Amino acid sequence: MSPVFPMLTVLTMFYYICLRRRARTATRGEMMNSHRTVESNSRTSPLNAEVVQYAKEVVDFSSHYGSENSMSYTMWNLAGVPNVFPSSGDFTQTAVFRTYGTWWDQCPSASLPFKRTPPNFQSQDYVELTFEQQVYPTAVYVLETYHPGAVIRILACSANPYSPNPPAEVRFKRFSCLSHLSTWYYRWEILWSERPTKVNASQARQFKPCIKQINFPTNLIRLEVNSSLLDYYTELDAVVLHGVKDKPVLSPKTSLIDMNDIEDDAYEEKDGCEMDNLNKKFSSAVLREGPNNGYFDKLPYELIQLILNHLTLPDLCRLAQTCKLLSQHCCDPLQYIHLNLQPYWAKLNDTSLEFLQARCTLVQWLNLSWTGNRGFISVTGFSRFLKVCGSELVRLELSCSHFLNETCLEVISEMCPNLQALNLSSCDKLPPQAFNHIAKLCSLKRLVLYRTKVEQTALLSILNFCSELQHLSLGSCVLIEDYDVIASMIGAKCKKLRTLDLWRCKNITENGIAELASGCPLLEELDLGWCPTLQSSTGCFTRLARQLPNLQKLFLTANRSVCDTDIEELACNCTKLQQLDILGTRMVSPASLRKLLESCKNLSLLDVSFCSQIDNRAVLELNASFPKVFIKKSFTQ
């Protein structure tokens, strides 16, 4: 027999084992779903009365449609009793996330996805809520008032935000071989999860998933959402937590399927903390002498690397335990060129980074978004990791990473000389002076500062030194005093700029628009949504249309002055336009929209919600004439 046949046989067996493991996991997942109802039917003592409470406070979130200085469309509307429910429609008193559908993924500003993202991690946004009393949850109700179906995961935390010293029964200890990293941590438990599903209704509903019973009381609940299948923005009105003060006793007939038994779960493992298990698996100290390598040592090194490239991070850790040959492959730095740690946010800590450090010396893309909060990652642990692994970094995602401080940004600026993309979205706890260090990253091409406290002086310095910028997000940066000055600097220094997000910038005028239009002719995407100081009568929108012919996305949301002249200028000059939002204007007629749709053959999204001249009949007529265009028309009941 030719030597190639044993190698092919081994390769086939390897894939077969992987497929069987996947199938087994799916079976367990189905079993878990079938038992969720049984889990929730726990018996409680008549004296253990159920406590029903609305959220007391919103403590963290990843994005929202609203402003930082008001309550309209903000996540803070989730606190307290319902404002709208059971009414349906588009209401400012609800909580709304920044995006919906796949439109933002189709824009020029969209980033490429990370490889090796586990298929069961599909969360795009989150919000964390606290409640007055700690209870053992029996139910969580989410009051959805518009386009429901975005919530895909509900978690509970053992931490009590209102108590500095947690009870011993809700704490667990993470231990590192370095004694000073031994720390008390809280834990998160999944109450319910589901893949994104299409809900074919936009009406209000009370979402009542069957939740899993947990063994600790909680008053900190986290909702994670995926809006990719939604036709429009989802709106949430309130969250209700039902629970009992005393730990309920399971019925003897109850067959409890523990989420910890799901091997592929991104958050849990049988020992209660997956990333700790990964740490042990990465450690050479736990690698024992295994069986012989079969025919794997006869395969080309590159072929084995290619096979392993399809495994997730936990699978790599498991495979490293099989034999020395595969351990060598699993620890090869080439396997960690792209490292996405966001799916493991609930478990990732300093110890995890310490064990990964030796494998990540060649990492180029690193995603630490959502990680490290509530003390899981320290400034020291993050700095130590970057000092070893930062030299080759090209892309660094740190969205909602609230452990960051000025020292962290200083380390990034010193240890990552090749960095081209930095995402600090919703890092709203970073002090203003920290952003001065970004100016040292002269190779930056992408910078996301959405919902940060960057100040004007620091931003001017960044723009002056980072002249290679192509993508810049300054949405909801409320500490910038004069956006006209910022726009002037962008126009003077950032000649290669392709996308610019100025969502809810409070004071940009026609002067700033003129500087942008003349200085950044390559702009393909411009978000000027909710910029109240821009007036069509000054000719600012006409100037944009005439000087930026490459525009593919233009958001003029909630600008009531946009008129037919502006639409006709877009039709004549911006024929590459794909997305246009003119929500809220009173001055645009169906006739001008028809001209736009006839000229812009690539237009796929048009939002005319609350445009007083565009009624439902006009939308139906335009839809009939241009069926490939998604024309959005929101309503209030």
Distances (CA, A) of 23 to 17, 29, 564: 10, 10, 57
pLDDT at 279: 55
Same domain, 415 and 549: no
Q: Same domain, yes or no, for 341 and 428?
A: yes
Q: Are 475 and 511 within one domain?
A: no
CB-based burial label for 38 (10 Å; 0-12, 13-18, 19+): middle
Does residue 486 lie within any of the structural domains?
Answer: no
What pLDDT does 295 receive? 73
Q: Are 467 and 493 contacting, i.e. CB atoms less than 8 angstroms apart?
A: yes
Q: Decide if 386 is inside a domain.
A: yes
Q: What is the pLDDT of residue 35?
A: 39
For residue 546, what is the domain's CATH number?
3.80.10.10
Query: How far is 120 from 264, CA to CA, in rounded Å?
Result: 8
Residue-level pLDDT at 635? 81
Q: How many residues does the chain have?
A: 637
- CA dist list (Å): 540 to 120, 185, 535, 555: 46, 53, 7, 14
Query: What is the reported pLDDT for 165?
Result: 63
**CA atoms within 13 Å, Cβ hemisphere of 17:** 11
Q: Can you give the pLDDT at residue 324?
A: 87
In a domain, 328, yes or no: no
Tokens of 591: 């006739």
- pTM (two decimals): 0.87
Does residue 143 lie within any of the structural domains?
A: yes
Residue 229 lies in a domain: yes
In CATH, what number is assigned to the domain containing residue 57? 2.60.120.260
- Indicate if 163 and 78 belong to the same structural domain: yes
Could you give the residue ranges of the DSSP H alpha helices within 256-331? Answer: 274-282, 301-308, 313-319, 324-330
Task: Show the low-confidence residues of the chain (pLDDT under 50).
Answer: 1-10, 13, 16, 19-20, 23-45, 168-184, 252-275, 281-282, 284-290
Q: How many domains does the chain have?
A: 3
Cβ neighbors of 154 (< 8 A, separation 6 or more) are 140, 190, 191, 192, 193, 209, 211, 221, 222, 223, 224
Q: Are residues 470 and 510 in the same domain?
A: no
> Which residues, in sequence order, are bridge partners of residue 340?
367
Which pLDDT score is estimated for 293? 62
121 and 236 in a single domain? The answer is: yes
Shared domain for 501 and 590, answered yes or no, is yes
Instruction: Tell me whether residue 435 is in a domain.
Output: yes
What is the per-residue pLDDT for 296? Answer: 75
In a domain, 34, yes or no: no
Domain boundary residue among 480, 504, 539? 480
Beta bridge partners of 96: 235
- For the sheet containing 471-473, what is the strand order? 338-340, 365-367, 395-397, 421-423, 446-448, 471-473, 499-501, 525-527, 553-555, 579-581, 605-607, 630-632
Q: Are 186 and 134 in contact (CB under 8 A)?
A: no
Range of the domain at 104: 50-167+184-244
Are residues 88 and 225 located together in one domain of the fold? yes
Same domain for 79 and 221: yes
Is 287 inside a domain boundary? no
Q: Are residues 575 and 632 in the same domain?
A: yes
Residues 422, 381 share a domain: yes
Whether residues 590 and 551 share a domain: the answer is yes
Q: Which pLDDT does position 54 carry in this prediction? A: 98
